Amino acid sequence: MHEIYNFVSGPLVWISFIIFIGGSIYRLVSMGLLAKKKDTVIYAYFSPKYALRSIFHWIIPFGSVNMRKHPVMTLVAFSFHICLIAVPLFLFAHIILWKESWNISWWFLSDATADFMALIVIGSCIFFLVRRIVLPEVKYLTTVSDYVILAIVAAPFITGFWTYHQFFGYKVMGIIHILSGEIMLAAIPFTRLSHMFFFPVTRGYMGSEFGSVRQAKDW
Amino acid sequence: MAQAASKIIKTEIYDEGIEKGIERLTQQRIDQVINHVLKNEVGARLKTYVDTCVHCGLCSEACHFYLSYDNDPAFSPAGKVKQTIWEILKRKGNVDAEFIKRARLIASTECNLCRRCAMYCPFGIDVAYLMSIVRRICHLLGVTPKYQQDTVHSHAATLNQMWVKEDEYIDSLMWQEEEAQDEIPNLRIPLEKEGAEIFYSVIAPEPKFRAQLIYQTAVLMNVAGVDWTMPATPGWDNSDMCMFSGDIEMMGRLKKAHFETAMRLKVKRIVMGECGHAFRSVYDVGNRWLLWKWPPIPVTHAVEFYYELFNEGKVSVAQKYDKTVTFQDPCNISRGRGLHEMGRYLARTLCTEFIEMHPNREHNLCCCAGGGVINCGPPFKMKRILGNRAKAEQLFAVKARGAETIIAPCHNCHGGLDDIVHHYGLGMEIKFLGDIIYDCIEKPV
């Protein structure tokens, strides 16, 4: 077991980070080059001012008409994304790992807060799952990959919660936790999770078209 | 109404252009065309949009088809992409003729390219662009609704939308000039005046059967003392159904002729009549095909031009229009150019009472005629009318608050709203701003 632990917490971490960072850069750069060749319109009309204006309205909760039309979804989506990013970055247990490996550390969340936030992520995933199954317009668009992606995202939080509370078999679960986190990181550049870094691009481009050419709002 | 709506979806609509088109298709041709478009005409935008869409369905309520057809997910923006582009990509272009037929129907008769969904998608995914790709593929495969293809042929043969011959066009202008001279004796519609301030361009339906609009414009121009001209050569028509059928090469020819006519006349700018799609073509789309980032010569839509005239005091109101009005924001000049506040300024200046319909401004619902949909002709008329029950409900609500007249500064909106008003028994009047301006302004006695 120690060997497996050493492997997932050693080389696999490196591999997953390399895939995540390298893959993300590769996706952005290759898309940028493809756009240069085939969609020069993006460069011609991209306007930082209007791109930021649009992005700003869409990263503020209830900043757009559609968010106000779906208050529950907005609330869940924002809490989900905030917790999803904040928990792994500011979890005390994770900071310790950074400290031990690299002797660096930063501000962290109290365990109780992080615990609660992990529950928000898990609860949100259940909400998204139910939404996929229940709402006809979402069900219609849903493919197997959507469930897989949801599982990839939920897994590190479920297993992390399990490990922290030391439920039965938590040692094995701890290994699965690390592994699932690595799977998620590696999946980001090559699945629809890439919306993480494509969001500013697509929103910014639409914001530019609406702002500078059409002189209208897009939120 | 809901029953009727679902009935029409299930009823097979026969369109000769589409049926004959798919008869001629071979598998090889389909593969060849789709792969050509995917390889040579599209790239990063398509790929990013498809990779980024998280299938959340939040775009659904942006679409009037979805709302009107009882929230049927097949009519949601992403639902339409799923049935077309996603399938094409998944099967690497290996789709059959029936698929192409369905794709053409979805992209050309179930989507107005109104771009409202881009404002509802958290990622700003441009579904109108994706539907344009589908239209492009279908055009190259020769599968186009018959009425629309006829219009495209007219564009190709005459450089105008309605088979108007050169002499007939000139004749219509001279006829309107003569008519208007009964009212203002020294009125002119200056033809071919080189160096004039303004080239006034219209869509072909104006000289063809809405000639009174040219009359009204002539009166306004004369009262305001505008230095204007209209050309006596092809290139006078600013409309563009090629942009909507997928025939973008022809779109380029049309816009080139239009801009070159303006250049030949050495005018300072082009002022366009009250038409939305033509504005989109001249201001936003056609210029790009010709590699002009912005139109090579300034383009002003009628709403903005009227606004200037009133704002600068070149015309004044003699008597306000006394019915309660509401304002239909055309997609292509509100979402497409932010002219909604100028439109409201005019409505308030010209009318005693103005009330808003909801939603409004950028968020207004499309009339369901735009994007070339009304141009697909009679076979699709009921699909289009039932596909905008949402608009009827929006209008009923504003009528209940007292609105009697709808101001719609767009030809397509007129056509679309006219059908909706009649079918749903709304009993409301529809007017161009030009109609009201003509009735209300101070004229020389």
The interface predicted TM-score (ipTM) is: 0.95
Instruction: Yes or no: say if B15 and B378 are a contact pair by the CB < 8 Å rule.
Output: no
Cα separations (Å) of B142 from A199, B40, B134, B151? 36, 19, 12, 14
HSE, CB side, 13 Å, CA atoms: give it for residue B195: 0
Domain boundary among B276, B308, B340: B308
Decide if B280 contacts B410 (C-beta within 8 A).
no
* Same domain flag for B243 and B368: no
Query: Which mean pLDDT values do the consecutive 10-residue runs of chain B (445 residues) have?
Result: 50 91 96 96 95 96 97 97 96 95 97 97 97 98 98 97 96 97 96 98 96 97 97 97 97 97 98 97 96 96 98 96 98 97 98 97 97 97 96 98 98 97 97 97 88
Residue B122 shares a structural domain with residue B255: no
pLDDT digits (tens, 9 = 90+) for A71-89: 999 999 999 999 999 999 9
Strand partners, B356: none
Interface test mutation site (partner B, options A24, A26, A38, max chain B beta carbons within 10 A): A38
**Do B296 and B373 fall within a single domain?**
no
Q: Where are the domains of chain A?
A: 2-213
Task: List the single residue in A with minimal CA-CA distance to B360.
Answer: A65
Cα–Cα distance measured from residue B307 to residue B305, given in angstroms and rounded to the nearest whole number: 5
Q: Output the pLDDT for position B444.
A: 85
Q: Supply the pLDDT for residue B9.
A: 57
pTM: 0.95
C-alpha separations of B223 from A42, B190, B217, B313, B413 in Å = 44, 14, 10, 11, 28
Residue B84 confidence (pLDDT): 97
Q: Hey, how many other C-beta atoms are within 10 angstroms of the C-beta on B96?
A: 13
pLDDT of the residue at B11:
65
The CATH number of residue B371's host domain is 3.40.50
Note whether residue B247 is domain-resident: yes
* Record: contact B48-A140, CB cut-off 8 A: no
Residues B49 and B118 in one domain: yes
Confidence of residue A183 (pLDDT cuts 50, 70, 90): very high
> Is residue B313 situated within a structural domain?
no
The pLDDT of residue B3:
47
Three-state SS annotation for B266-332:
CCCEEEECCCHHHHHHHHHHHHHHCCCCCCCCCEEEHHHHHHHHHHCCCCCECCCEEEEEEECCCCC
Same domain, yes or no: B37 and B138:
yes
* Residue B298 and residue B324 in one domain: no
Question: What pLDDT was estimated at residue B360?
Answer: 96
The domain total for chain B is: 3
Rg of chain B over Cα atoms, rounded to whole angstroms, equals 22
Nearest neighbour of B57 by CB, restricted to A138, A143, A207 = A138
Q: Do both B324 and B436 map to the same domain?
A: yes
Q: Does A31 touch chain B (CB under 8 A)?
A: yes
The answer for residues whose C-beta is within 8 angstroms of residue A203's C-beta and 6 or more apart is A51, A54, A55, A58, B122, B123, B124
Per-residue pLDDT band at A2 (split at 50, 70, 90): confident
Residue range A108-153, pLDDT digits in tens: 999 999 999 999 999 999 999 999 999 999 999 999 999 999 999 9
Q: Which residue of A has its CA nearest to B51?
A: A192
Measured between CA atoms, how close is A85 to chain B, in angstroms?
A: 18
Instruction: Output b/e per residue, A95-105; b: 16+ Cβ within 10 A.
Output: beeeeeeeeee
Is B332 a domain residue?
A: yes
Q: With contacts defined as CB-CB under 8 Å, which chain A residues touch B335?
A: 210, 214, 216
CB B294 within 8 A of CB B287: yes
pLDDT of B8 = 52
Q: Looking at the structure, do residues B209 and B153 belong to the same domain, yes or no?
A: yes
Percent pLDDT > 90 in chain A is 96
- In the listed set B308, B339, B372, which residue is the last one of a domain according to the structure? B308
CATH architecture of A2-213: Up-down Bundle (1.20)
* Structural domain for B417, as ranges: 318-440
